[in-house]
Amino acid sequence: MSQNAIIQFVEDQVAVKEFPEFKAGDTITVTYKIIEGNKERLQRFQGVVLQRVGDGPKATFTIRKISNNVGVERIFPISSPFIDEIEVNKKGAVRRARIFYLRGLRGKKARIKEARR
């Protein structure tokens, strides 16, 4: 068995949940589990997807939101068992796959046009 086939086999063991399709520029809400002591609760994080990285179970995505006037970014592994649900709120019309230019923009400039379907 070739090296890639073995790595593939190991990665196939990692369960990847089915999520709706989304890309950079979309606004999504990620519901994820938080474990505090023995208690488990759900928390939501809504923001704009800045980028999607990698493929297969190792893939991650970055979301950015403005919270209390401070930019907050969070990176989620797509196969993280803590992710409960991903909801796509808005499809954004952007021209690139990684929209880091958004970090330098504030207020009205930081808006993203909705994609026409």
Residues of this chain that interact with another protein (CB under 8 A) are: 1, 3, 6-7, 9-11, 13-14, 58, 77, 79-82
Which residue number, 58 or 111, has a Cβ lying nearer to another protein?
Answer: 58
* Cα gap 48→28, rounded to integer Å: 6
Which residue number, 11 or 87, has a Cβ lying nearer to another protein?
Answer: 11
Q: Which tokens belong to 1?
A: 């068995």
- Determine contact, residues 28/47, Cβ cutoff 8 Å: yes
Cβ partners under 8 Å of residue 26, min gap 6: 48, 49, 88, 89, 90, 91, 92
- Determine contact, residues 45/63, Cβ cutoff 8 Å: yes
Which residue number, 12 or 73, has a Cβ lying nearer to another protein?
Answer: 12
- Minimum distance from residue 66 beta carbon to another protein (Å): 27
- Minimum distance from residue 60 beta carbon to another protein (Å): 10
- Type of residue numbered 1: M
Which residue number, 13 or 68, has a Cβ lying nearer to another protein?
Answer: 13
- Minimum distance from residue 50 beta carbon to another protein (Å): 20
- Minimum distance from residue 110 beta carbon to another protein (Å): 31
- Helix, strand or coil for residue 101? helix
